[in-house]
Structure 1
Amino acid sequence: MAFDRDLQPTAAVRGNLQFTHSGLVTATYFVEPLGYGLRRGSDKFDVKAAHHALVTSLPDGALLLGIQARLNTLDVLTKMVEGVDLDTCEDYADEVVASFERMRAIGPRTRIHLLSIPVGAGNTGISGLARVWRGSTTAVDATAISRAELDGYAEKANEILSRIGGDFDPVPVPASLFQWLWEHYLSRGAVGDPVAPARAGALDDATAAVFRSAALDEGARSDGNRRLRPSFVPVIKVVQPDFEYRPSYQAMLTPHSFPYSGMVFPGGSEFLTVLEAMENVTVDWAMRIATRSADQVLKNNELNLRRLGDQMDQRDQEVSFAQNTLAAKAQMLGEYNNHFEVNSGESEVSFTTVIAVGGPSREIAMDAVNTLKRRYKRFQVELAAPVGAQVDLWSMFVPGSPPRRAFDDFAHIVPSDMWAGFVPFTTSQVGDDSGPVIGVNLLSGNFEPIHFGIMEAALHDFSASFAVTGELGSGKSYFLKLMAVLVHDMGGQFLALDRSQVGEWEHFAGTIDDAVVIDLADPAVSLDPLRLFDPRIAGERALDSILPLLDLSPTSGAGAAASALLSVKGLAEHGIRSMLDLYRTARRLRGDGELAAEYADLAARLGTIVERVPVLFDPDLPPLRLDAAATVVRSHRLALPSAEELTTPHLYQRLPLTKRLGTALYELVGVAAREAFLSDNGRFGLLVGDEAHHFTQTQVGAAVTSDFSRDGRKHLAAIGLASHDPATDFQGAAHNLVPNRFVFRQRDEVLARNSLSWLGVDLEEAPFLLQVLREETSPPVGVGRRVPEERRGEMFMRDALNRIGRGKVLGPARPDRAAAITSTPTAARQTVP
């Protein structure tokens, strides 16, 4: 199995600078991939433009890498606890511990994007250092490299990065990444494949790297199959002397040809996305780049055209197909030349792409190879596994590797504009950089955890408010309860309005310490705004809710009388401290003065509801206090108007008193939560409303939604809303200011279109997503039309950075928490008074 190639070129490492035996010096960087996923076409063209600037600025020999590796579970847990004091949040600490085993079982992966660029020729003395590949484990002493030399290489690298721009946010890799890459390549897809390093902290910033020795057995001859020559078998068996029992079987693939007619962007050119969602194997890609300017291309085209003309002259008397072939080549060359003449900023890109498939056995690796070949046929891309060139292509993944013949043999030449359509540095990641894990990413195929840093968003100047839509039984309420329990466990508080007849939120709150449940139809507390709020704002808050309830205009006679009584001056002058005092004062004033008639009208209107609404007029009830960890307000026995009644003027004018009353109480709960949560009390507050139109379609509710969306980040607060139809319910602030959006199953076509449009998806560009949402998102199956356990919680989402993806909500990792938000009591078990 031995061979005499030096496949590890590194002689010394200083930070992200690599010095090779051949004298080449490279600088390697982490690259931040650009959000792609399900974004609109206009956004994708911006991503293409960034890649165009990248490729036209890269020096010849630049290496682009996309390395797939298992996520480090401890890194996931570290992100979960960022900003949370686990000493005071024991419930959340238990959730994090329970998440450890769940993450290990899921086995999420990620793709690390790297850029390695040559920055000069190093000290020739380095080439005489001991060869690391030959089994030496002695670290190379890099102290001979002077500071002036290092500064010169760094300056050259910064000059290149400056031309590229900041779209990809390049960050220098630590020195030990070179060792990590090497160990990953030797164990690709096998048992010893190391977990992915985090951008910071997972690897030590050493000044040298120690590389394991290994043998690359092309053709896997050591397996005993000697009937086939190694050059006929496109597979490499990588064996490490210290780990012979866990070899890695790898195959190197490269595009043999691309579609003759080109690849349409977006949607047809992103051929590297095919590599995701491969089971049981690890798939990496590498792309080596060389560019030529438009002037060079035009000069070469002239020379090539002259040669074609000479050949055509030599064959002008010949009757054969060759004449037609030469004419076709001349036409193509003319079109190619015209492209560069018209686009002065263009350049020509020569690129070699290698796709590495690694697995624990030869059979698994070759099955994956055949799967990839079938997938690429849909792109009209012919994928080849060149026999005899496997080791050469394998070496292209190693930064600093010298050019080999295979790199040129399998190179393709395209204009830089076409190359930019490949958009290799992209990601389908959604969610936040930290926070609790709410689910896994389905769009990327790697099942990366989706973090939702609802309590951290304010610290990063983002709104933590969110909205959910979906049909009945799709998972909206489950998700709302998930977010509520996470907020509670992380030390926050929440208030939820429970409209369900069976009291699912009341049942859920029963599992939380310090929870308060309030029934507005049988109140134990008062929502009297004059008792709830500070006297400076109490009258204003009362007016906002009472005037619509009494069908009064603030400028009408009785409305003006109420406004005068509820002013700060009026409250003090008449000693009004409660709604009952307001009623008594109006009755007392109805027989005196110029406004006697107006006070009489106001007293009469108030008199119709005094006895009906103890939650507003009973002075013996204590006022609502929102200092509990969890508050559930049951409104199931309130009559509430529909969204149509709230948005249609003539229907709103005919609303019965019971529905006006229900709306007023609903609004008062929201206003009370706003006053309590949008204050600097040092505790995060979440207001949850499952009937979104009552918060978005009324003046007071819209103001509450707007205040939470705009100012929640300043005061550690957020609002969570749910609806069946976002086109009707999520207007105004709920549409413009709520950044985090979730769409669960919606089988109705109209509502599904409304949901995807609200999410930001352009169905003209991606019409297939409508079918995915209606038929392939948590689909009910079988005789009972139930959703299988493994398919529950599937959804589309849009995060605070406007990235759109598809995921699956996991729910709490703690069994007791999962049971609390999953189980819903039946009506028969409820004792409704």
Structure 2
Amino acid sequence: MAFDRDLQPTAAIRGNLQFTHAGLVTATYFVDPLGYGLRKASDKHDVKMAHHSLISNLPDGSLLLGIQARHNTIDVLSKMVEGVDLDTCDDYAAEVVAAYERVCAIAPQTRIFLLSIPVGSTNPTMSAIARLWRGGTTTTDAAALSRAELEGFEQTAAEILSRIGGDFDPVPVPAALFQWLWEHYLSRGAAGDPVAPTRVGALDDATAAVFRSAALDEGAQADQGRRLRPSFVPVIKVVQPDFEFRPSYQSMLTPHSFPYAGMTFPGGSEFLTVIDGLPDVTVDWGIRVSTRSADAVLKSNETNLRRLGEQMDQRDQEVSFAQNTLLSKAQMLGEYNQHFEVNGGESEVSFTTVIAVGGASREQTMDAVNTLKRRYKRFQIELTAPLGAQVDLWSMLIPGSAPRRAYDDFAHIVPSDMWSGFVPFTTSQIGDDSGPVIGVNLMSGHFEPIHFGIMEAALHDLSASFAVTGELGSGKSYFLKLIAALVHDMGGQFLAIDRSQVGEWEHFASAIDDAVVIDLANPIVSLDPLRMFDPRIAGERALDSILPLLDLSPTSGAGAAASALLSPRGVAEYGITSMLDLITVVRKLRDDPAVGADCADLAARLGTVADRMPVLFDPRLPTLRLDAAATVVRTHQLALPTAEELTTPHLYSRLPLTKRLGTALYELVGVAAREAFLADNGRFGLLVGDEAHHFTQTQVGAAVTSDFSRDGRKHLAAIGLASHDPATDFQGAAHNLIPNRFVFRQRDETLARNSLEWLGVDLTEAPFLLQILREDTSPPVGAGRQVPEERRGEMFMRDALNRIGRGKVLGPARADRAAAIGSTPGSTGRAVVAQRQVRS
């Protein structure tokens, strides 16, 4: 049970270069995993090709690692405050403090991907016999190495990485990572397991590492008392002298066999994804690889085929099953040989896979082992935990570890094309690199925080606009209010159009300082475009709204008269500064022989709406100014057309006047927000519309949506839209230019299908996602058909990088802010508790 010094091979470290006692020099890199998740099969084939390039160019003895560790909470908070001045954003500072406690309660995990490649030897002239004579070790003095020797190792590593390509963006690890990795292995799954070094500067750039000693007790013999018979439990008890009170119980698993008929890609070959999502344990994986060229494989196959032929000749007269067995082997060898003859760029990969499971108790570890075995059975993969080889397999995950017999005993041989289908370096991460935390990732099973950097997107030349879809009560409005609250707390401003009868946005705005609520049916401000906008563009903005309102064509007689009067020349000539002035001038021009008939028609049309729309024609009202932190425009008393009425010509031509008035006012609010927010005033502006078709199905609304989607990143602005049916409402710019998309529960099959296709999911490849969205996304349960608190906010998400995944919206971490956005006037007991346990 004593500590075996051979298990830690490191003799010296120089940056990411590791010098081992055996004279081997390795270079270790962080690997950026490729986005996978719910992407289309064509995208997944691109990921497979990147892995094929990787495996085809790795030197023998390379080690691929996927290390699970606790997410660094400080890293999460650092990303939350990136680009935010907390001295001027007290509300957001309070949100970040509250988020710290919530993140600690959730205890998110992450997976770090590493690649370790051999790049040379410190004593290349020493023969293998000499190493054996010296006990397999040499004395390595890294201080004695010249700069030229170190540059030679670095050059070798650079040449290997150049052949691999830049898909995985390898970054040299700091020297301290080797010590972190060792301490993680000793404490795998136990209380002392260190947090992941994902934050910049989390590990210093030390040039030496101090490796703790530990006792590796295979079979956990110390727990068995004085038993004389050896234990047959495939578990290692790792005890560190300074931390005997928190041992780690670990079990090393390796695939014993893969499906005889092969593994289909995509969907059936990604066997490493099965290990995620196990509670109370930590699961790491490592793959040690070596390759042979196609020419070497073909020569070996010829030799093997000749031997099979000799054996078949020897048993030609024998009546037994052996003849059939030899024929079967010959057929398999022929198929294997043909594969390499047809695919000239192929290579043969010999690989050993170790899945390391660690927990704080033997029971937790063995339960996880049995769970993994059951999961792999469904993939027709048999996992085994070999007795007597546990420590050897444990050591395989250590970079620079010397080869051991167990590595060859449990190796498998496949063509590189099949190996690349394993796609080990992939991630289900969604969201942005920084920004407030809006939820947790449900795809990976690690509950990683989802960041949505809506105010930072412009700095990365990305659009911050977003769109949401889902059925009634699925969480659309809650999500819109969450994003609006975060924008306000980070120093931005928002304008929301509230169509609800109960005034839920008005209720939310009451919790915000410097908020303005406007009811267009009882106006306290004017939306007169001739007064709101700069005189250079005021006439054009007025025409955009007035002509559809009056059912006029720009080229008709009355339409042409309005266009002439509202041109810069007409405005200056007749002194038109308001919509009331326009009516006055038109009525005077009715007696002009040249334009009298057209102006009479125009005056009659204007007269029908003037008295009904004081918000446009009352000059005593002050104009709308969008300088408040929050502006809520209530439109619940306006009659608005349906999406069908807006898109069907004969229905649109028969729209009643009340609906035309409502549409004009709705559009003017959007235009006002565009003029205010798409200006370089140094303040982020968000326009929120819960009735998306009014912004996407009309000419003016489509222009507003397009401008926010195209130019918002240039002017610190974004638009957020919500709809029940994306196939109908999210057209044009809303479909092509809005990158961030969220889909909440949708139980109607047609709407669910439309939502997933709008998200970018190919349902012919993944039809099961339709059932998940309809039946297992925040499902109502029980007699009252209520969604349990712990299941609320589940959704599908597509981020700015087109990665598609599944997550859960958490809401604000502050209890007061969560209560403000999670309840509506007149309802009690419906406030969402932000601190609910995500894992329950």
Task: Give yes or no for TM over 0.5.
Answer: yes
- CA distance in structure 2 between the aligned counterparts of 1:232 and 1:522, rounded to whole angstroms: 81
Match of 1:76 in 2: 76
Q: Deviations over 1:246-283 (max 9, x none)?
A: 00000000000000000000000000000000000000
Match of 2:136 in 1: none
- CA distance in structure 2 between the aligned counterparts of 1:781 and 1:231, rounded to whole angstroms: 47
Task: Write the letter of the residue equivalent to 1:504.
Answer: E
Secondary structure of the residue aligned to 2:309 is helix
Structure 1 stretches of 4+ moved >6 Å: 124-127
TM-score w.r.t. the length of structure 1 is 0.97
- CA distance in structure 2 between the aligned counterparts of 1:345 and 1:123, rounded to whole angstroms: 33
Q: Is the 8 A contact 1:68 1:112 kept in 2?
A: yes
Q: Is the 8 A contact 2:530 2:578 kept in 1?
A: yes
Q: Deviations over 1:38-95 (max 9, x none)?
A: 0011100000000000000100000000000000111100000000000001100000
Q: Deviations over 1:727-764 (max 9, x none)?
A: 00001000000000000000000000000000001111
Match of 1:359 in 2: 359
- CA distance in structure 1 between the aligned counterparts of 2:690 and 2:303, rounded to whole angstroms: 71
User: In the TM superposition, what is the alpha-carbon distance from 1:826 to its structure 2 partner?
Assistant: 2.9
Match of 1:586 in 2: 586
Confirm or deny that 1:462 pairs with 2:435.
Answer: no
Q: Is the 8 A contact 1:141 1:208 kept in 2?
A: no
Task: Write the letter of the residue equivalent to 1:394.
Answer: W
Match of 1:626 in 2: 626
Confirm or deny that 1:541 pairs with 2:563.
Answer: no
Q: Is the 8 A contact 2:519 2:634 kept in 1?
A: yes
- CA distance in structure 2 between the aligned counterparts of 1:88 and 1:200, rounded to whole angstroms: 25
- CA distance in structure 1 between the aligned counterparts of 2:49 and 2:393, rounded to whole angstroms: 29
Q: Deviations over 1:340-391 (max 9, x none)?
A: 0000000000000000000001111001000000000011000000000000
Q: Is the 8 A contact 1:25 1:120 kept in 2?
A: yes
Superposition pairs of residues 429-828 of structure 1, within 5 angstroms: 429-826=429-826
Task: Write the letter of the residue equivalent to 2:158.
Answer: N
User: In the TM superposition, what is the alpha-carbon distance from 1:6 to its structure 2 partner?
Assistant: 1.0
TM-score w.r.t. the length of structure 2 is 0.96
Secondary structure of the residue aligned to 2:632 is strand
- CA distance in structure 1 between the aligned counterparts of 2:96 and 2:156, rounded to whole angstroms: 45
Q: Is the 8 A contact 1:142 1:208 kept in 2?
A: no
- CA distance in structure 2 between the aligned counterparts of 1:82 and 1:93, rounded to whole angstroms: 12
Task: Write the letter of the residue equivalent to 2:697.
Answer: Q
Secondary structure of the residue aligned to 2:795 is strand
Q: Is the 8 A contact 2:3 2:213 kept in 1?
A: no
Is 589-598 or 748-757 further displaced after alignment? 589-598
Secondary structure of the residue aligned to 2:67 is strand
Q: Is the 8 A contact 1:39 1:804 kept in 2?
A: yes
Q: Is the 8 A contact 1:142 1:207 kept in 2?
A: no
User: In the TM superposition, what is the alpha-carbon distance from 1:2 to its structure 2 partner?
Assistant: 1.1
Confirm or deny that 1:383 pairs with 2:383.
Answer: yes
Match of 2:29 in 1: 29
Secondary structure of the residue aligned to 2:144 is coil
Secondary structure of the residue aligned to 1:104 is helix
Match of 2:132 in 1: none
User: In the TM superposition, what is the alpha-carbon distance from 1:146 to its structure 2 partner?
Assistant: 1.6
Q: Deviations over 1:304-363 (max 9, x none)?
A: 000000000010011000000000000000000000000000000000000000000111
User: In the TM superposition, what is the alpha-carbon distance from 1:827 to its structure 2 partner?
Assistant: 8.9
Say how many residue pairs are matched. 817
Task: Write the letter of the residue equivalent to 1:625.
Answer: R
Percent identity of paired positions between Structure 1 and Structure 2: 84
Superposition pairs of residues 14-53 of structure 1, within 5 angstroms: 14-53=14-53
Secondary structure of the residue aligned to 2:718 is strand
- CA distance in structure 2 between the aligned counterparts of 1:145 and 1:204, rounded to whole angstroms: 23
- CA distance in structure 2 between the aligned counterparts of 1:225 and 1:341, rounded to whole angstroms: 59
**Which structure 1 segments of 5+ residues have no match?**
128-139, 829-833
Task: Write the letter of the residue equivalent to 1:371.
Answer: T
Q: Is the 8 A contact 2:220 2:231 kept in 1?
A: no
Superposition pairs of residues 342-357 of structure 1, within 5 angstroms: 342-357=342-357
Match of 2:120 in 1: 120
Task: Write the letter of the residue equivalent to 1:183.
Answer: E
- CA distance in structure 1 between the aligned counterparts of 2:142 and 2:744, rounded to whole angstroms: 56
Q: Is the 8 A contact 1:254 1:385 kept in 2?
A: yes
Secondary structure of the residue aligned to 1:143 is helix
Secondary structure of the residue aligned to 1:54 is helix
- CA distance in structure 2 between the aligned counterparts of 1:519 and 1:178, rounded to whole angstroms: 63
- Cα pair distance change 1:253/1:225, threshold 3 Å: farther
- Cα pair distance change 1:749/1:242, threshold 3 Å: same
Q: Is the 8 A contact 1:23 1:126 kept in 2?
A: no
- CA distance in structure 1 between the aligned counterparts of 2:424 and 2:644, rounded to whole angstroms: 48
Task: Write the letter of the residue equivalent to 1:58.
Answer: L
Confirm or deny that 1:279 pairs with 2:244.
Answer: no
- CA distance in structure 2 between the aligned counterparts of 1:385 and 1:805, rounded to whole angstroms: 33
- CA distance in structure 2 between the aligned counterparts of 1:52 and 1:662, rounded to whole angstroms: 58
- CA distance in structure 1 between the aligned counterparts of 2:85 and 2:508, rounded to whole angstroms: 24
- Cα pair distance change 1:756/1:226, threshold 3 Å: farther
- CA distance in structure 2 between the aligned counterparts of 1:593 and 1:292, rounded to whole angstroms: 94
- CA distance in structure 2 between the aligned counterparts of 1:228 and 1:793, rounded to whole angstroms: 56
Q: Is the 8 A contact 2:286 2:397 kept in 1?
A: yes
- CA distance in structure 2 between the aligned counterparts of 1:392 and 1:427, rounded to whole angstroms: 29
- CA distance in structure 1 between the aligned counterparts of 2:114 and 2:353, rounded to whole angstroms: 15
User: In the TM superposition, what is the alpha-carbon distance from 1:201 to its structure 2 partner?
Assistant: 1.3
Q: Is the 8 A contact 1:455 1:684 kept in 2?
A: yes
Task: Write the letter of the residue equivalent to 1:245.
Answer: F
- CA distance in structure 2 between the aligned counterparts of 1:247 and 1:517, rounded to whole angstroms: 60
Q: Is the 8 A contact 1:528 1:616 kept in 2?
A: yes
After superposition, the CA RMSD in angstroms is 1.4
- CA distance in structure 1 between the aligned counterparts of 2:757 and 2:259, rounded to whole angstroms: 33
Q: Is the 8 A contact 1:349 1:419 kept in 2?
A: yes
- Cα pair distance change 1:827/1:438, threshold 3 Å: closer
Q: Deviations over 1:703-749 (max 9, x none)?
A: 00000000000000000000000000001000000000000000000
- CA distance in structure 2 between the aligned counterparts of 1:365 and 1:115, rounded to whole angstroms: 27
Match of 2:835 in 1: none
Task: Write the letter of the residue equivalent to 2:803.
Answer: R
Secondary structure of the residue aligned to 2:720 is strand
Match of 1:243 in 2: 243
- CA distance in structure 2 between the aligned counterparts of 1:22 and 1:500, rounded to whole angstroms: 73
- CA distance in structure 2 between the aligned counterparts of 1:126 and 1:66, rounded to whole angstroms: 33
User: In the TM superposition, what is the alpha-carbon distance from 1:145 to its structure 2 partner?
Assistant: 2.1
- CA distance in structure 2 between the aligned counterparts of 1:491 and 1:141, rounded to whole angstroms: 56
Superposition pairs of residues 38-187 of structure 1, within 5 angstroms: 38-123=38-123, 142-187=142-187
Secondary structure of the residue aligned to 1:288 is strand
User: In the TM superposition, what is the alpha-carbon distance from 1:619 to its structure 2 partner?
Assistant: 0.2
- Cα pair distance change 1:613/1:141, threshold 3 Å: farther
- CA distance in structure 2 between the aligned counterparts of 1:365 and 1:533, rounded to whole angstroms: 68
Secondary structure of the residue aligned to 2:682 is coil
- CA distance in structure 1 between the aligned counterparts of 2:550 and 2:228, rounded to whole angstroms: 92
Match of 1:137 in 2: none
User: In the TM superposition, what is the alpha-carbon distance from 1:180 to its structure 2 partner?
Assistant: 0.2
User: In the TM superposition, what is the alpha-carbon distance from 1:665 to its structure 2 partner?
Assistant: 0.3
Task: Write the letter of the residue equivalent to 1:411.
Answer: A
Q: Deviations over 1:510-566 (max 9, x none)?
A: 000000000000000000000000011000000001000000000000000000000
Task: Write the letter of the residue equivalent to 1:723.
Answer: S
Q: Is the 8 A contact 1:274 1:375 kept in 2?
A: yes
Match of 1:329 in 2: 329
Task: Write the letter of the residue equivalent to 2:636.
Answer: H
User: In the TM superposition, what is the alpha-carbon distance from 1:632 to its structure 2 partner?
Assistant: 0.2
- CA distance in structure 1 between the aligned counterparts of 2:49 and 2:4, rounded to whole angstroms: 43
Q: Is the 8 A contact 2:72 2:199 kept in 1?
A: no
- CA distance in structure 1 between the aligned counterparts of 2:97 and 2:201, rounded to whole angstroms: 21
Q: Is the 8 A contact 1:501 1:827 kept in 2?
A: no
